[in-house]
Amino acid sequence: MKDLSNYRKSYEKSALLEHQIPEDPINLFYKWFYEAEDLNAAEEVNAMTVATIGLDGFPKSRVVLLKKFNEEGFIFYTNYNSEKGKAIIENPNVCLSFFWPTVERQIIIKGKAEKTADNISDNYFASRPDGSKLGALVSPQSEIIPNRELLETNLLALEKEWEGKEIERPSHWGGFLVRPVEVEFWQGRPNRLHDRIRYQLHDDIDWKIDRLAP
């Protein structure tokens, strides 16, 4: 067994103090996101972990790409018939998390997911490269398939079928908007005394701010 007990790092790059933060977590998310982007804090700054409760009762996490965020929440896209999509439709309570190691920061977001309007999914799908569009059509996401050749053969057939045409978004593929109810910002600090600031939504209007022990 590999012993990892000596893997240690001292976090000393920044601090998160109450007098420095806005009343609204979205504004702090904006600030942290663009700081992470400017400092190349990760290869894909918009990569986030989405955790769901599956139909089998087990939690499951996977990395997806955040494609939009605003005051309403956070949007990503997927196949609604996938394991992830079915889990969210059955139980819309999800958790999103970002980890930007270069700046020693995490953000953990609890929220409720809902499908985006068709026009929002249509507009995003239209912006994708044709290869990505066809990939959404050809892949029965999360289903068992016999081999990779099936995907490649079906992709060739679809390329011929849609050649010279505008590729349409399939109805089973689209966006989820996650409306946050709790957002925690984590800033690494020395001696494992990390800063943790939590925003909780009250009465769908006001955000309560607390400091949590590390």
Domain containing 69 — which CATH number? 2.30.110.10
Q: Do the domain assignments include residue 161? A: no
pLDDT of residue 8: 76
For residue range 11-47, list pLDDT tens digits in order: 888 999 999 999 999 999 999 999 999 999 899 999 9
Q: Do the domain assignments include residue 188? A: yes
pLDDT of residue 3: 81
For residue range 69-96, list pLDDT tens digits in order: 999 999 999 999 999 999 999 999 999 9
Closest CA to 74 of 175, 199, 177, 185: 177
Q: Do the domain assignments include residue 143? A: no
Cα 185–Cα 40–Cα 116 angle in degrees, nearest 5: 60
Q: Which domain holds residue 60?
A: 18-126+171-212
Number of domains observed in the structure of the chain:
1
Q: Do the domain assignments include residue 111? A: yes
Tell me which of 1-10, 41-50, 94-103 is least confident: 1-10
**CA–CA distance, 49 with 60 (Å, rounded to integer):** 10
**CA–CA distance, 205 with 100 (Å, rounded to integer):** 29
Q: Do the domain assignments include residue 159? A: no
Which residues are catalytically annotated?
Answer: 192
pLDDT of residue 7: 78
Q: Do the domain assignments include residue 155? A: no
**CA–CA distance, 159 with 214 (Å, rounded to integer):** 53
Q: Do the domain assignments include residue 141? A: no
Q: Do the domain assignments include residue 32? A: yes
pLDDT at 204 over 90: no
For residue range 108-147, list pLDDT tens digits in order: 999 999 999 999 999 999 999 999 999 999 998 998 889 9
pLDDT of residue 154: 92
Residue 62 bridge partners (DSSP): 50
